[in-house]
Amino acid sequence: MRRGRPFKVPVISDDSQQVFFSSQRSATSHCYDLAKRSLLAADIEINRVWSGHPAPTDYAEKAQRFQLILIDLHFFFISIRNLYRYLEKIVLDPTYAHLRPELDRLNDEWFRHYSSGREAFEHIDQRLPGERHENRIVEIEENGARRKIHYGLYLSRGVFAHSDLEWDISLSAFNQIKNEVNVFLQSVVQSSKTTRNTAP
C-alpha cells in the first residue's frame, strides 16, 4: 500500500463564505472551492510520485513502479488543468476581473505548459506506431541515436518527457506553483473582503 504524508481536506471555510457573499456569478464560490480541491489533488498526486519507496531491485519491479508513476502523473496533470479552469471562471466574475493579469501571468509561467502535459495521456492510442496520428510524436536525437518518446521518466532529473517536450515534476517546482496559486487565492479572498467593506 502506498503511503504518504496526511493531507488536510478543505472544508467550507470563512474564506469560501466571503467569496460566496461577494461574488456576482453563481458559479464563482463553487469554483473557488473546486480550485482548492484541485490544488490538493495535484499535491496528493505529485507526492505519490515521490513518496520514498525502496528502490526497485529487478526489472519487473521497476516496470511496475514506472506504470504507477505514470498513473499518478496523469491525474497530476488533470488536476493542474482543472485548477486553471476553475481559476479562469473566478476571474470571469466582475468582482475578481481585476485579477485577470495575474492569472494570465500564472498561465504563461505554469498552467499552459503543465496543462499540455495532460495531452500526453489523451488519445495515446492514436499516436502509437502505425496509428493515424503517429507523426504527432516528434523524433528526437539523444547521444547520436534517434527515437520517439511516448512516455519518458527521468527521476534523477525530476523530469517527465513526451515527444519533444519535457515537464519539471520535481517537488520544488510544484511547491512554487502551489505557493503562487495560494497567493492568488488569497487575493480572491482579500478582494471579497474589500468588496463587502465598500458595499453601500
Nearest to 176 by CA among 101, 109, 89, 88: 109
Of residues 61 and 131, more confidently modeled = 61
The three cell numbers of residue 163 are 515527444
Mean pLDDT of 171-179: 97
What is the pLDDT averaged over residues 95-101?
Answer: 97
SS3 content of the chain, % helix, strand, coil (to 5): 60, 10, 30
In angstroms, the CA 120 to CA 96 distance is: 32
Most confidently modeled range among 114-118, 160-164, 170-174: 170-174
Give the Cα separation of 149 and 3 in Å (integer).
30
Per domain, the residue ranges of the chain are 14-128+170-198
Reported as a pLDDT band with limits 50, 70 and 90, residue 200 is: very low
Beta bridge partners of residue 147, listed in sequence order: 140
Mean of pLDDT values over 116-135: 80
**What pLDDT, on the 0 to 100 scale, is given for residue 7?**
61
At residue 46, the pLDDT reads 97
Residue 178 has pLDDT above 70, yes or no: yes
Q: Kindly report the pTM of this predicted structure.
A: 0.84
Band (123; pLDDT cuts 50, 70, 90): confident
Does 9 score more than 50 pLDDT? yes
Is residue 68 over pLDDT 50?
A: yes
